């Protein structure tokens, strides 16, 4: 029989937040009468969530070894890279991407978000990862805008206006964490639809729903709302935290979004970050049109001026709109007075690489083709491919254009951060 599991709980790792500790104390008190608890005993969690045995595998001689996570990660990375380049069309044909994104994140704060299958709770995990995502998002899409919407008590509520500042969004999100009631997909979609239908046509309208709930409690026919979103060209994506829900799948299929379900926290993070790079442009918007933009100057230090976004006097910093000379605090944004899109040139430059991605490198077998001599060092970091002491040679790749060889770490760095191939760039220079 499983006695009161509370007796041997102190080994629990997660460095008890005050909240969890409080809950444990409650458990202690209710030990007798709360036998039908929802499977939250500490011993059970330790087994259920950590699953430490899964990190081990048996090798050919019967010894237990930790799974070689590094090669696993590399393999995953390669797979993702190839997938990305194949879905984004062939490398040769230049695809358009929606660089100016108007992105609403809908956070589910219904009753289901208080469940503790993610620790400490689904809500806390969602908030934490959403914060990381917002930063990453602005890093990759400096020209884009994000807004937050929450669902609770059967209603949808706009937490923040759509805007270009990560800090403001994160601050607003962290202040509002409590969950109760039902989630309503329809209300959330209607709300977002109302806001997104006003934005200019060059912007890409996207919604990402982080859904904990398995049910949606709607006032009307949600199918109609899905169709309206489809007509308004709003790309809806959903990340579920527990299981596949038909209506979410339907929504994503109809509007061209993606639907994924997280297995655990790290998987959730991965899925969330997949939404950071800009998606391919929708065909109807593919026609190129010109957008008026202003490049404001940074205000001089020590000048007092009234800022248009906060409606108060501020000292120093800030930017001045080139058209109407009003002061704004942060870039990128839209001028409150004249409606001009205000950006800085680094923003544009940082968005540029999405349009010309580095082609995925070909994998090269460590031994090479017969009769071909391979260089022994990586072109990028100059480290030897042959590991110390005759260890298994690590994976290497070569750029299809310049045929230089790179180690896998450099490969990751080039594709994820640098966005330029050092081999090609140096060739270019030498030819000039």
Question: In the complex with other proteins, which residue's Cβ is closer, 271 or 331?
Answer: 271
Question: In the complex with other proteins, which residue's Cβ is closer, 49 or 131?
Answer: 49
How far apart are CB 237 and other proteins at their closest, in Å? 14
Greatest Cα pair distance in the chain? 81
How far apart are CB 240 and other proteins at their closest, in Å? 7
Q: In angstroms, rounded to a whole number, what is the distance separating the alpha carbons of residues 261 and 122?
A: 13
- Which residues have CB under 8 Å from 377's CB, separation 6+? 383, 384, 385
Count of Cβ atoms closer than 10 Å to residue 357 Cβ: 17
In order of 183, 239, 342, the CA distances from 260 in angstroms are 18, 5, 35
Question: In the complex with other proteins, which residue's Cβ is closer, 218 or 334?
Answer: 218
Question: In the complex with other proteins, which residue's Cβ is closer, 84 or 314?
Answer: 84
How far apart are CB 242 and other proteins at their closest, in Å? 7
Question: In the complex with other proteins, which residue's Cβ is closer, 132 or 247?
Answer: 247
DSSP state of 12: -
The residues of the shown chain that bind other proteins, judged by CB under 8 A, are 1-2, 35-36, 38-39, 44, 48, 112, 117, 185, 214-218, 221-223, 240, 242-248, 250, 260-263
In order of 207, 236, 242, 412, the CA distances from 251 in angstroms are 11, 7, 17, 34
Interstrand relation of 234-240 and 259-261 (parallel, antiparallel or unpaired): parallel
Of 9, 193, 16, nearest to 104 by C-alpha is 193
Q: Quick one: tokens of 70? A: 């590094």
How far apart are CB 397 and other proteins at their closest, in Å? 24
How far apart are CB 247 and other proteins at their closest, in Å? 3
Cis ω on the peptide bond leading into residue 281 (within 30° of 0)?
A: no
Question: In the complex with other proteins, which residue's Cβ is closer, 131 or 182?
Answer: 182
């Amino acid at each position: 029989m499983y006695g009161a599991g509370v007796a041997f709980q102190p080994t629990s790792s997660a460095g008890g937040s005050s909240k969890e500790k409080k809950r444990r104390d409650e458990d202690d008190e209710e030990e007798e009468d709360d036998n039908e608890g929802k499977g939250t005993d500490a011993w059970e969690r330790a087994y259920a969530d950590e699953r430490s045995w899964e990190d081990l595998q048996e090798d050919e001689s019967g010894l237990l070894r930790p799974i070689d996570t590094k090669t696993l990660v590399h393999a995953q990375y390669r797979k993702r890279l190839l997938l990305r380049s194949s879905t984004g069309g062939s490398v040769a044909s230049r695809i358009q991407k929606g660089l100016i994104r108007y992105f609403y994140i809908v956070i589910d704060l219904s009753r289901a978000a208080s469940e503790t299958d993610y620790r400490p709770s689904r809500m806390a995990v969602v908030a934490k990862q959403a914060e990381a995502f917002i930063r990453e998002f602005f890093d990759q899409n400096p020209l884009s805008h994000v807004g937050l919407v929450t669902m609770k008590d059967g209603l949808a509520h706009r937490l923040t206006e759509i805007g270009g500042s990560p800090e403001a969004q994160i601050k607003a999100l962290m202040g509002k964490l409590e969950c109760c009631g039902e989630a309503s997909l329809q209300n959330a979609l209607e709300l977002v639809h109302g806001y997104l239908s006003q934005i200019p046509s060059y912007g890409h309208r996207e919604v990402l729903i982080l859904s904990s709930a398995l049910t949606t409690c709607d006032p009307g026919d949600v199918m109609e709302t899905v169709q309206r979103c489809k007509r308004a060209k709003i790309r809806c994506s959903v990340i579920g935290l527990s299981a596949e829900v038909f209506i979410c799948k339907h929504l994503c299929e109809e509007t061209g979004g993606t639907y994924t379900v997280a297995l655990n926290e790290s998987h959730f993070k991965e899925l969330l970050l997949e939404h950071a790079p800009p998606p391919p442009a929708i065909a109807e918007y593919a026609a190129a049109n010109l957008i008026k933009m202003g490049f404001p100057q940074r205000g001089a230090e020590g000048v007092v001026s009234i800022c248009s976004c906060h409606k108060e006097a501020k000292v120093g910093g800030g930017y001045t709109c080139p058209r109407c000379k009003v002061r704004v605090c942060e870039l990128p944004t839209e001028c409150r007075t004249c409606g001009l899109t205000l950006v800085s040139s680094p923003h544009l430059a940082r968005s540029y690489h999405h349009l010309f991605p580095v082609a995925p490198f070909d994998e090269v077998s460590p031994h090479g083709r017969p009769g071909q001599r391979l260089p022994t060092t990586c072109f990028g970091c100059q480290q030897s491919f042959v590991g110390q002491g005759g260890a298994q040679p690590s994976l290497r790749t070569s750029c299809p254009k310049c045929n230089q060889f790179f180690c896998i770490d450099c490969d990751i760095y080039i594709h994820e951060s640098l966005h330029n191939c050092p081999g090609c760039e140096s060739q270019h220079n030498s030819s000039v």
